[in-house]
Amino acid sequence: MAAIAGATRATITRDMPPPALVVEVVSPGEENRQRDYRYKHTEYAARAIAEYWIVDPEQRQVTVCQWVEGQYEDTVFREGDAICSTVVPKLELTVKQLFAAGQ
Domains of the chain by residue range? 18-101
Q: Specify the fold of 18-101.
A: tt1808, chain A (3.90.1570)
Give the pLDDT score at 5. 60
CB 53 within 8 A of CB 17: no
DSSP string, 74-97: EEEEETTPBP--SSSTT---BHHH
What are the C-alpha distances in Å from 61 to residues 6, 7, 47, 78?
31, 29, 25, 5
The fraction of the chain above a pLDDT of 90, given in percent, is 50
Residue 1 has pLDDT above 60, yes or no: no
pLDDT at 29: 85
Q: What is the pLDDT of residue 83?
A: 95
Burial group, residue 35, by CB count within 10 angstroms (0-12, 13-18, 19+): middle
Instruction: Express each pLDDT in 9-58 by its tens digit.
Output: 667 677 888 888 999 999 888 888 888 888 888 888 888 899 999 999 99
67 CB-near residues (< 8 Å, 6+ apart):
45, 48, 49, 50, 51
Residue 4 has pLDDT above 70, yes or no: no
Classify residue 51 by its DSSP letter. Answer: E
